[in-house]
Amino acid sequence: MFDVRTLIDRIPRIEVLIIGDAVLDCWMAGPSHRLCREAPVPVVTVTDRTYAPGGAGNTAANVAALGAPVHLVSVIGDDQDGRLLRDALVDRDVSADGLLTVPGYRTPSKRRVLAGQQMLARLDDGGDEPIPEHAADELIRTVDRLASRCACVLVCDYGTGMLTDGIRDRLVQRRRSWSGPVVVDAHDPARWAALRPTAVTPNYTETRLLLDERGPEDGDERAVFVERHAGRLLDRSGAAMVVCTLDADGAVLLQPGRRIYRTYAKTAPAPGFTTGAGDSFVAAFTLALAAGAHETTALELGTIAAGVVCQQARTSVCRRAELLRAIAPSESGITSEEELAEYVAAYRKAGRRLVFTNGCFDVLHRGHITYLNQAKQLGDVLIVALNSDESVRRLKGPDRPVNPVEDRAAVLAALSCVDHIVVFDEETPAKLLEAVRPDVYVKGGDYTPEMLPETPIVWRLGGEVRILDYVDDRSTTRIIERIRRTAEVPR
């Protein structure tokens, strides 16, 4: 079942341990009206200066914003940046009990200079030397103290030098004593293969580094490239699953012996420069795993959280209320036929490939989710025609649907692979097929194209018909039958 609200309600009971290099993010902004005399560069009069946790600190801030207690084990210097970073973490409800202050160590920082909405420079400082041995010992003792009380561990290694080989090896020795998922978000995932993580979450650049291959630069070809090398990625990462994030193109989940699962980002132009969407992704993904979610549900949740942050400015987090609104907006998620016609015209003009499917989707299960995800991969836009309640009753009997059309639509709308949902009252979506003229018509189940009444319409309109398999032993009818049998067993 795809019950994300129940999942999110569990998050405040999940205590999280994050081990990694925290960074101070500083944004300096102001107007620029002249060039410098010493060189032809703009002079910025700084009128706005904001500080936020970056790196592992931003991941911890995201975990806290989603409602979970979080402990960050990291190292800062006994300097002004270290004090600013500590204050910024505490302000965001991140526990500072694992934050170690090391004299002589320079706190890593990233200062961005903006003239209006134009970024002129980023100044990076600190964090380029390994921490001393006594600090490494204290860090490991802190991990030991906190790990036993936490439901999951997240390692964030962004290459500042804090997580030395020696610290990594000592963390590997403690891996078996950690409960719950262990997720690694690292610039070099292969460096953590011996940890045998539950999941690693490289971005596309890091994925290519893991493979030592160049690969395509953009578009859906990147997802194809990742899928083609799934076996090598899993082997080299040492992880039970690899999640490759593709920024605006969503994310891809790789697991041994399973088909890939992909999510699709739903983003809008941000009001200014945004950083940290990857931190939001890994925070939500890890919390979902720790809350008992299926891997695909965790991937969906992470993608939605990243999409929320992409619509914000500067170093941002995804809060629980924002995540809930993104999952289940106040609208039903249903597109009217008139609205759909406008969308279709725009998609045609842009050269988008339209995929169309239909069904009752009464009790959404893993088979549905896998099938819809595969359907999306056949084109650019996935339109789902949903049987009305009366239509379901005519097809399935008087005791169906179990869930009304508004609820069924809201659950479908939470899937990133679904772009539009339109309701129809007839037994077949023939009228909608005539209006949409899809490039691909998809059905899931034990059919042949010739068995479907919609096939002649699609072929006449120049489209193709594709049949996709459901996951074995997953159907709404069987689920309802199991529920009824359980209810009939005497107590």
pLDDT in tens, the chain (491 residues): 346 778 888 999 999 999 999 999 999 999 999 999 999 999 999 998 999 999 999 999 999 999 999 999 999 999 999 999 999 999 999 999 999 999 999 999 999 999 977 899 999 999 888 889 999 999 999 999 999 999 999 999 998 889 999 999 999 999 999 989 999 999 999 999 999 999 999 999 999 999 998 889 877 789 899 999 999 999 999 999 999 999 878 899 999 999 899 998 764 545 567 788 999 999 999 999 999 999 999 999 999 999 888 878 788 899 988 888 777 654 567 888 988 998 898 788 777 889 999 999 988 878 888 889 889 988 889 999 999 999 999 998 888 888 899 989 988 987 888 989 999 999 899 999 999 999 999 998 778 899 999 999 999 999 999 999 765 444 555 555 555 555 555 54
Tell the burial category of 394 from Cβ atoms under 10 Å away from its Cβ (0-12, 13-18, 19+): middle
Residue ranges and CATH numbers for the domains of the chain are: 4-32+42-327 (3.40.1190.20), 337-482 (3.40.50.620)
Tokens read off for 93? 């409800």
Per the annotation, binding residues for ATP are: 203-206
* Closest of 76, 120, 115, 119 to residue 98, by C-alpha: 76
* Closest of 474, 417, 469 to residue 443, by C-alpha: 469
Q: Which of 25, 79, 279, 439 is catalytic?
A: 279
d(CA 195, CA 333): 42
CB within 8 A of 319, min separation 6: which ones? Answer: 65, 66
Question: What is the rounded radius of gyration, in angstroms, for the C-alpha atoms of the chain?
Answer: 25
* Closest of 363, 345, 395 to residue 480, by C-alpha: 363
The answer to whether residues 356 and 466 touch, using CB atoms and an 8 Å cutoff, is no
Q: How many CA atoms lie within 13 A of 240 on its CB side?
A: 9
Per the annotation, binding residues are: 203-206
Q: What is the pTM of this model?
A: 0.76
Assess whether 25 carries a catalytic annotation: no
d(CA 50, CA 309): 17
Q: Do the strands 199-200 and 241-245 form a parallel or antiparallel pair, or are they unpaired? A: parallel
